[in-house]
Amino acid sequence: MLPAKLEDRCVLSDTLVYIFESQPLKQGSLNFLWETAEKCKIFEHSIVAVQILQSYIKAIPSEGRKNFSRLHEMLLRRNDIFQIEVLQLAVCCGTVISTAKAKLNELVAPKFRIPSTDNFFQVAIKQLTDHLDLPKSHRFFHRAKLTFQAVYALCESPDELCNDVISSVLCHKA
């Protein structure tokens, strides 16, 4: 999936979601994907594992909620592209496009929300502010966009957290 065009990635992602909805992975396979994403020394393998997990979480949202605490440690790994993919995975955990069957379950199960003080947000925002010296970088804008998408998808009080982020950015620039 790494060198693929965006259109190809979308088709592959949608196909994986369809497959995972009809036939979920066994726990051993899921553990392998999570551990590859977390610990593999070859970042390309970790990135592909995260991309597969994105499709899996779109198909089976409970998996993302159950393993969300793992994203904090993954976000600490030192690779910009990997960190951006992890942010995208976090957004998938909070904004799941539901199938008709899952929409009925939403009436029973509340949306997945975490407090603004969660370590995940603290790390994501610190990484964003650490990259403020690269404002013309395409990767910075993508990171900023995904950070704010994650905040609005997952945070209990996203407006307050965004206000804090913007205030710290303005203070950083002053």
For residue 4, the model assigns a pLDDT of 67
* CB burial readout 22-58, b (16+ within 10 A) else e: eeebeeeebeebbebbbeeeeeeebbbbbbbbbbbbb
Is 118:160 a contact under the CB 8 Å cutoff? no
Q: Considering the chain, what is the average pLDDT of its residues?
A: 83
Structure tokens at 57: 């979480």
Please indicate, yes or no, whether the overall pTM of this predicted structure exceeds 0.85: no
Domain positions in the chain are 6-173
- What is the arithmetic mean of pLDDT over 69-79? 89
User: Over 80: is that where the pLDDT of 103 sits?
Assistant: no
